[in-house]
Structures are given as structure tokens and as C-alpha cells.
């Protein structure tokens, strides 16, 4: 199969048709620094109300995009992959000129399942499926339970700690490594790689503004960043090649032996598959685990309900995911002229779907900014996407959240967020780097 990174269409500068809705003043979804305060829910509310398909310009000569914020419109875009392609330009926003990109990350983010359209998308997705079936996940659940207990045992005597470092960053990594088949001794490396991947956007932005005189600190960070990214890809490629020769009952072997158009994946697609699974399987769940603790602290009545009635926890998990919506957006490219909610979109223009905005749409979720652990339609959230690219790891994430909060609430019913938090400047994933908790 031809590399997607070689066919990628940059996008057509827009807007090419009249705007049906105004461009709202003060909304800037490309300013990553604003996302270190959390998702811009107040802006999202104004957009849903006054400009549900809003034209948004991009810096650095990016083509610009249509920002879609209503639940029904996000569903419509996701439900029509023939018109709104993942492959023509990938799912990430433009990050500027080629010299500002990390070439390997850029390439790998495109040469992957998530950036494919039919029919190759379905073919490669099928190869992953045996490791996401209910039968496989039953065995995994027991191992997740054991790991949750082990991590909480380690925290128990402390009374206060950073939940990210001690729990949320570690559990998804354990689970993913179990599915992939990564040996225990190699697992700590993943933590380091995740740290640098979360900082990728920040680094590109700092590099762009530093001009010709970057600080020593920035130069050192760039060197560390590059070394880590290289190490991550080298490790993945070596492991996948090893599995090709000596297959094991694990996801890594399934990816290594997958075929598209009758051929095994090229090294470029192996890199892309590796990056996708390492990032998608870790970061999203990690941030939902942390974000849930913050929510339970902000809504003490809901916390008390779950402590008193733990049987509500499985149902509450969808509400946690709805409220956190850790994936902020996914992008598509129009393959033909089309219309979304009265706005005509031109062929080649970009459309960006905001999941956090859709998941707080009052027309679907009344009193949407409130955590309600018994919300009847919480499962209508679209934090996992919708349509052919719906998250393949959805159930894996739910199992981890369920097991984690069942044990946390039983063992530490007084655990609370202290108010101290650090969120990365990242407008793609709501990335909580630190969340202090105590349970005095
Ligand atoms: C709360 C946790 C998670 C959230 C919110 C989440 C969110 C998403 C979203 C929104 C998509 C759709 C992408 C699109 O429409 O283009 C997606 C796809 C994907 N996710 Fe997740 N995810 C989570 C956990 C996981 C886990 C635990 C794994 C793996 C173990 C995983 C692996 C993937 C993969 C491989 C895809 C690509 C599927 C495809 O393109 O067919 N995710 N995820």
C-alpha cells in the first residue's frame, strides 16, 4: 500500500463558500497555551449556540478548518466517512511548515490505521480485533484488578501523593503492555516516552517562536525529545520484526503479521501502528482516570452516592468519560462539496470535530456541566468517536476505570483532589501531568 504520508493532501485554504455562521470573537482553538487551563467549555457553549459550524483560521499558513461542536453534527460527520475522509490529510490539525515538524512523528501519525479509509482501514482493524473481544478481555480484567490492588497498596501508607505518577500513568501502561505482550523489564521506558509525546506540540510551538536563538534549556529538551522518540520507534520496530519470526499470542504479533493488499506492513506502517497503539492506549485512559478524581471532588454529592452504592460504578463510568472527553478533537477532510447544519463545505476543506463540546450539548445531556452518576443516557457520549473509526479500545478503557474506582472508593472513601493540578499545553489530548490527592 502506498504510504499515506506520501499522498497526504495538505488541504485547501478556505473558506470557499459563504459562512452561514459568524466567527466568534475571542475563540482561539489553536492556541495550545489556553488548553493548560482545561478545555474551553465556555467557548464551546457559545459556538454550539451561535456558530455550530464555525470557520477557524490557522496560524503558520495552515489551511484553516470548520469547527463542529454540536452532538448531532459530530455524529453526522463521523457517520459519513466517504465524504469526510481520515486518510486525506490525517486526523491531526496542521502544525505548520515542514521544517517545524518532527519528520518521523509526522510520518508515523499518518501511516496508521486511524488515518486510513475503506477498504484498507477495515482490513487492518480486523487484524487487531482478537485482542479486543469479550473473551480475551475477561482474562485481562483479572490482571487489571490485581494491578489496581498493587498500586493502591503502594500508595496506602502515604496519605497524600500525585495520582498521575502513582496510579493513572501506571495502570494503562500495565494494561496496554499486557495486551501488546511487552516484557515487564521494558515497561518503564514507556512512561518516559509518553512524557515526551505529550510535550510534542509544546516543543513544536516553542521551536517556532524561538527563532534563531533558542535557549540552552530548549536545545537540551529538543535533544532529549529526539533521542526518546528515536528510541521508541527503534524499540517498536525491533519488537515487531522479532514477533514476525516468532509469533506469540499477543497484539504485537497480530500487527506484525497483518497484511494490507496482500502484503505485510512496511516498516513505515509498523512505525505508525506502534505510535498509534502506544499513544491511544495510554494517554486517553490515564487522563480519564485522573480527571475522574477531580470531578468526584468537585461534585461531592455524586462521590458520596458512589461510596454508598458501589453498584452504580459501571454505569457511572460512561458519565466520567463524557465529562472528561480526553480526546479533544479529530479532523477530517471533505472529499466533495457537502453541507453540515446549513454550512456548505468545499471539497478539500478541513472539518474538526470537538468531542468535549459535543458531549456537553444540552439538547442531548440536560444540565450537561454537572456530573450525574445515574444519568440515563450517559452512554450516548461520543468521547470514543462514532462510525468506522470508533475506538477499538473502548472496553479496555471502561474496564480499567471500573476496576480502579471500585477499589479506590472502597479503600479510600475520603480521597480528594487537593486543588493542585498541572495540565499540558496540548489542544489534542486533555493531558493531566500532575493531580495531587490526599485521604487524611
Ligand atoms: C478513555 C479512553 C479512550 C478514549 C476517550 C479514546 C478515544 C478514541 C477516539 C475518539 C477514537 C476515534 C478516532 C477517529 O474517529 O478518528 C479512538 C480510536 C482508537 N483508539 Fe481509543 N480511546 C480510548 C482508549 C483506548 C485504548 C485503551 C486503546 C487501546 C488499548 C485505544 C486504541 C484506539 C485505536 C487503535 C483507535 C483507532 C481505531 C480506528 O481507526 O479504527 N483507545 N479512540
Considering the entire predicted model, what is its pTM? 0.95
Burial group, residue 186, by CB count within 10 angstroms (0-12, 13-18, 19+): exposed
The answer to whether the CB of 18 falls within 8 A of the CB of 51 is: no
Residue 117 DSSP SS3: coil
74 Cβ closer than 6 Å to some ligand 1 atom: no
384 Cβ closer than 6 Å to some ligand 1 atom: yes
CA-CA-CA-CA torsion sign (173, 177, 182, 183): positive
90 Cβ closer than 6 Å to some ligand 1 atom: no
Give the count of domains, the chain.
1
According to DSSP H, which parts of 168-263 are helical? 171-180, 187-198, 200-210, 216-245, 251-256
pLDDT at site 211: 57
CA-CA-CA-CA torsion sign (17, 20, 25, 29): negative
| Mutation test residue for ligand 1: of 111, 123, 172, 284, the one with most atoms within 8 Å of CB | 284
C-alpha–C-alpha distance, residues 414 and 300, integer Å: 10
351 Cβ closer than 6 Å to some ligand 1 atom: no
Per-residue pLDDT tens, the chain, 440 aa: give them: 899 999 888 889 999 999 999 999 999 999 999 999 999 999 999 999 999 999 999 988 889 999 999 999 999 999 999 999 999 999 998 766 676 778 889 999 999 999 999 999 999 999 999 999 999 999 999 999 999 999 999 999 999 999 999 999 999 999 999 999 999 999 999 988 988 887 776 676 666 665 556 678 888 888 888 899 999 999 999 999 999 999 999 999 999 999 999 999 999 999 999 999 999 989 899 999 999 999 999 999 999 999 999 999 999 999 999 999 999 999 999 999 999 999 999 999 999 999 999 999 999 999 999 999 999 999 999 999 999 999 999 999 999 999 999 999 999 999 999 999 999 999 999 999 999 999 97
Peptide bond into 269 cis (omega under 30): no
Burial group, residue 3, by CB count within 10 angstroms (0-12, 13-18, 19+): middle
The answer to whether the CB of 191 falls within 8 A of the CB of 22 is: no
Domain enclosing residue 118, as ranges? 4-438
CA-396 nearest atom, ligand 1:
27
Q: What is the CA(394)–ligand 1 centre distance, in A? A: 7
Categorise residue 337: left if φ over 0, alpha if ψ from -120 to 50, beta otherwise. beta
Q: What is the CA(391)–ligand 1 centre distance, in A? A: 4
Ramachandran angles phi, psi of 127, nearest 5° = -65, -30
The answer to whether the CB of 182 falls within 8 A of the CB of 243 is: no
Q: What is the CA(390)–ligand 1 centre distance, in A? A: 7
Which residues does residue 56 pair with via DSSP β-bridges, in sequence order? Answer: 65
Residue nearest to atom 1 of ligand 1 (CA): 285
- Whichever domain contains 285, its CATH number is 1.10.630.10
The answer to whether the CB of 264 falls within 8 A of the CB of 244 is: yes
Crossing angle of helices 394-411 and 313-324, rounded to 10°:
110
Q: What is the CA(189)–ligand 1 centre distance, in A? A: 22
CA-based nearest residue to 149, from 132, 170, 130, 124 = 170
Categorise residue 345: left if φ over 0, alpha if ψ from -120 to 50, beta otherwise. beta
397 Cβ closer than 6 Å to some ligand 1 atom: yes
356 Cβ closer than 6 Å to some ligand 1 atom: no
Residue nearest to atom 11 of ligand 1 (CA): 391
The answer to whether the CB of 35 falls within 8 A of the CB of 328 is: yes
Cell of 44: 464551546
CB neighbour list of residue 46: distance below 8 Å, 6 or more residues apart: 24, 27
Amino acid at each position: 500500500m502506498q504510504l499515506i504520508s506520501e499522498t497526504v493532501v495538505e488541504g485547501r485554504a478556505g473558506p470557499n463558500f459563504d459562512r452561514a455562521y459568524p466567527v466568534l470573537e475571542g475563540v482561539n482553538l489553536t492556541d495550545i497555551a489556553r488548553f493548560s487551563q482545561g478545555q474551553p467549555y465556555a467557548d464551546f457553549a457559545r459556538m454550539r449556540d451561535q456558530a455550530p459550524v464555525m470557520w477557524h483560521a490557522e496560524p503558520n499558513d495552515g489551511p484553516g478548518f470548520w469547527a463542529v461542536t454540536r452532538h448531532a453534527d459530530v455524529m453526522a460527520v463521523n457517520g459519513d466517512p466517504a465524504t469526510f475522509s481520515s486518510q486525506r490529510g490525517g486526523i491531526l490539525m496542521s502544525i505548520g511548515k515542514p521544517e517545524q515538524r518532527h519528520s518521523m512523528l509526522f510520518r508515523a501519525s499518518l501511516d496508521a490505521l486511524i488515518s486510513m479509509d475503506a477498504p484498507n482501514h477495515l482490513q487492518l482493524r480486523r487484524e487487531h480485533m482478537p485482542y479486543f473481544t469479550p473473551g480475551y478481555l475477561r482474562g485481562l480484567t483479572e490482571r487489571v484488578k490485581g494491578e489496581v490492588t498493587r498500586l493502591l497498596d503502594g500508595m496506602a501508607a502515604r496519605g497524600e501523593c500525585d495520582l498521575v505518577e502513582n496510579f493513572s500513568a501506571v495502570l494503562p501502561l500495565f494494561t496496554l503492555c499486557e495486551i501488546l505482550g511487552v516484557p515487564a523489564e521494558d515497561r518503564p521506558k514507556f512512561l518516559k516516552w509518553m512524557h515526551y509525546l505529550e510535550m510534542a506540540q509544546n516543543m513544536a510551538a516553542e521551536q517556532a517562536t524561538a527563532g534563531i536563538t533558542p535557549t540552552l534549556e530548549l536545545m537540551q529538551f529538543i535533544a532529549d525529545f529526539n533521542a526518546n522518540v528515536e528510541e521508541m520507534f527503534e524499540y517498536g520496530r525491533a519488537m515487531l520484526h522479532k514477533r514476525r519470526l516468532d509469533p506469540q499470542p499477543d497484539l504485537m504479533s497480530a500487527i506484525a503479521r497483518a497484511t494490507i493488499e496482500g502484503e505485510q506492513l512496511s516498516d513505515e506502517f509498523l512505525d505508525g501502528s506502534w505510535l498509534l497503539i502506544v499513544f491511544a492506549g495510554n494517554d486517553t485512559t490515564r487522563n480519564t482516570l485522573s480527571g475522574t478524581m477531580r470531578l468526584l471532588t468537585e461534585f461531592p454529592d455524586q462521590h458520596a452516592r458512589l461510596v454508598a452504592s458501589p453498584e452504580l460504578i459501571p454505569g457511572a463510568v460512561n458519565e466520567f468519560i463524557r465529562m472528561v472527553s480526553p480526546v479533544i478533537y479529530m479532523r477530517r477532510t471533505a472529499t466533495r462539496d457537502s453541507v453540515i447544519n446549513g454550512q456548505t463545505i468545499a471539497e478539500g476543506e478541513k472539518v474538526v470535530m470537538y468531542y468535549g463540546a459535543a458531549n456537553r450539548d444540552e439538547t442531548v445531556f440536560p444540565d450537561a456541566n454537572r456530573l450525574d452518576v445515574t444519568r440515563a443516557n450517559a452512554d450516548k457520549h461520543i468521547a470514543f468517536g462514532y462510525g468506522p473509526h470508533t475506538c477499538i479500545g473502548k472496553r479496555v478503557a471502561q474496564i480499567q476505570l471500573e476496576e480502579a474506582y471500585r477499589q479506590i472508593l472502597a479503600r479510600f472513601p475520603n480521597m480528594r483532589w487537593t486543588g493542585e493540578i498541572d495540565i499540558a499545553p496540548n489542544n489534542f489530548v486533555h493531558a493531566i501531568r500532575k493531580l495531587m490527592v490526599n485521604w487524611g
